């Protein structure tokens, strides 16, 4: 991968669409940062941006690099989208993550009340309870499949309880999340089949959410669904499409990224035994350890933006209507921002990574994701002596085939069970 001529469009396109790029994107991204920091990727139909400073600048510049229209533009380029992908188009046309201020601010202000530092910290006892229960279930066995045993059910349960979704349905919104996220260029290319499946997932999710909203309008509770169903902003209620889209955004963003953070982070930790030992010896490092996990192997690797006017950047001309993919994972390995960036060090001095984005679209649930990861990592280290990769498992990371959402499908761990 590192020997690819990144200035050759065909060679670069082949490398980016190869399975080995999903397995380890960082060597190729390093070459791009040095030799082609803004490159047109023909199979993806977009510019790929890899330098940290460029990415930070353009993430903050919502006027010229807009979240609005980024997904709808892709949908509208697909055949017969009005008939086949109408629900998907409407969901993203009004969605909070796909809008810029002031419309974005209007809806975000409503949802952000559930993610204040005080409200997030108040969830700590429940998160600790869920993590301890997951560990108790596997403790006698000496084995744990981290994703299914903990990394998925923990955030799925937390966001369900916070939003007011039925917790027993968490596997349903896991399925919808996977199908909808697949349309976000899992392979770098939007394909009709992914669009069809994502559109069906939106329709299924809407049918599931509507009766819950009707119940909240009749009898509000202390949850986010009730707030969405009944709130007025500047004297106006959210439209039905806005309510549905925001509810879907809650489960889309509320669990998959945290699953990726816990899975990727623990994978890095057990593959660096010296850092695992350091964390056992210095448990006060759990918060910086989670920040290093986010920087080292971010669960959300690439951000999509839509160019609203012609821009000159590093000798390249980006035209109005172009799509840009900002490689957040590359920014987090940029040596101009992070010395010795390919080393995993939990005591690394604090530095600003881009795993949660920046500016108006900074991840609303970042504090909640951090808290869940900190509790999970702390409890796993404390309660599972001899924690390591399962020696009977394939040591190769079992990643989903996705260049945008870097999430493990499984992570098999072993530990020393309690003495009989």
Q: Picking from 101-105, 194-198, 397-401, which range would have the lowest pLDDT averaged per residue? A: 101-105
Residue partners of 248: CB distance under 8 A and separation at least 6: 91, 95, 176, 180, 202, 205, 206, 209
pLDDT band, very low/low/confident/very high, at 229 (cuts 50, 70, 90): confident
Exposed/middle/buried for 146, CB within 10 Å: 0-12, 13-18, 19+? buried
- The whole model's pTM is what? 0.92
Strand partners, 395: none
Q: How does pLDDT run across 243-269, given as a tens digit for each residue? A: 898 888 887 877 889 999 999 999 999
The H-or-E segment that residue 233 falls in is: strand 232-233
Q: Which two tokens stand for residue 300?
A: 């959300």
Strands 398-399 and 316-318: unpaired
What is the spatial distance between Cα 336 and Cα 339, in angstroms, rounded to a whole number?
7
Cα–Cα dist 36/41, whole Å: 11
Q: What is the pLDDT of residues 125-166, one digit of tens each?
A: 999 999 999 999 999 999 999 999 999 999 999 999 998 999
Per the omega criterion (within 30 degrees of 0), is the bond before 102 cis? yes
Closest CA to 28 of 58, 8, 42: 8
Coil, strand, or helix at residue 311?
A: strand
Rounded distance, CA 22 to CA 16, Å? 8
Residue 56 CA neighbour count, 13 Å, CB half: 11
Q: What is the CATH number of domain 70-301+357-414?
A: 1.10.630.10
Find the range with the poorest average confidence among 134-143, 283-292, 356-365: 356-365
Longest dimension (CA), the chain: 69
- Strand partners of residue 49: 38, 326
β-strands 236-237, 232-233: how paired?
antiparallel
The answer to whether residue 100 scores a pLDDT higher than 80 is no
């Amino acid at each position: 991968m590192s020997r690819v001529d990144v200035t050759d469009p065909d060679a670069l396109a082949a490398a980016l669409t190869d399975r080995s790029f999903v397995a380890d994107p960082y060597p190729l991204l390093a070459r791009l940062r040095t030799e082609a920091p803004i490159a047109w990727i023909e199979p993806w139909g977009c510019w790929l941006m890899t330098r940290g400073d460029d990415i930070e600048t353009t993430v903050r510049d919502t006027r010229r690099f807009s979240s609005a229209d980024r997904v709808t533009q892709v949908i509208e380029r697909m055949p017969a989208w009005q008939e086949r992908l109408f629900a998907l188009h409407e969901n993203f046309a009004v969605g909070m993550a796909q809008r810029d201020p002031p419309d974005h601010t209007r809806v975000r202000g409503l949802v952000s009340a559930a993610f204040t530092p005080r409200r997030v910290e108040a969830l700590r006892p429940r998160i600790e309870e869920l993590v301890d229960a997951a560990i108790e279930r596997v403790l006698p066995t000496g084995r744990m499949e981290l994703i299914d045993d903990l990394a998925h059910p923990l955030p799925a349960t937390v966001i369900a309880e916070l939003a007011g979704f039925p917790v027993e349905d968490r596997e349903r919104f896991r399925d919808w999340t996977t199908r909808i996220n697949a349309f976000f260029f899992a392979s770098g290319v939007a394909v009709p089949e992914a669009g069809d499946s994502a559109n069906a997932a939106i329709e299924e999710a809407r049918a599931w959410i509507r009766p819950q909203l009707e119940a909240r309008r009749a009898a509000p509770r202390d949850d986010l669904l009730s707030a969405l169903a009944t709130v007025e902003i500047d004297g106006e209620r959210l439209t039905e499409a806005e309510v549905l889209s925001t509810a879907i955004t809650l489960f889309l963003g509320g669990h998959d990224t945290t699953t990726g953070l816990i899975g990727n982070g623990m994978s890095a930790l057990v593959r660096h035994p010296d850092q695992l030992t350091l964390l056992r010896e210095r448990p006060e490092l759990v918060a910086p350890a989670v920040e290093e996990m986010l920087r080292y192997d971010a669960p959300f690797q690439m951000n999509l933006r839509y160019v609203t006017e012609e821009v000159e950047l590093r000798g390249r001309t980006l035209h109005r209507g172009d799509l840009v993919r900002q490689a957040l994972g590359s920014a987090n390995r940029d040596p101009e921002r992070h010395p010795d960036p390919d080393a995993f060090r939990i005591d690394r001095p604090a530095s600003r990574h881009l795993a949660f984005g920046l500016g108006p679209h900074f991840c609303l649930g970042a504090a909640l994701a951090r808290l869940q990861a900190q509790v999970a990592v702390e409890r796993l280290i404390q309660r599972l002596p001899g924690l390591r990769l399962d020696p009977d498992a394939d040591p190769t990371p079992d990643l989903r085939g996705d260049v945008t959402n870097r999430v493990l499908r499984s992570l098999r761990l072993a530990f020393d069970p309690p003495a009989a």
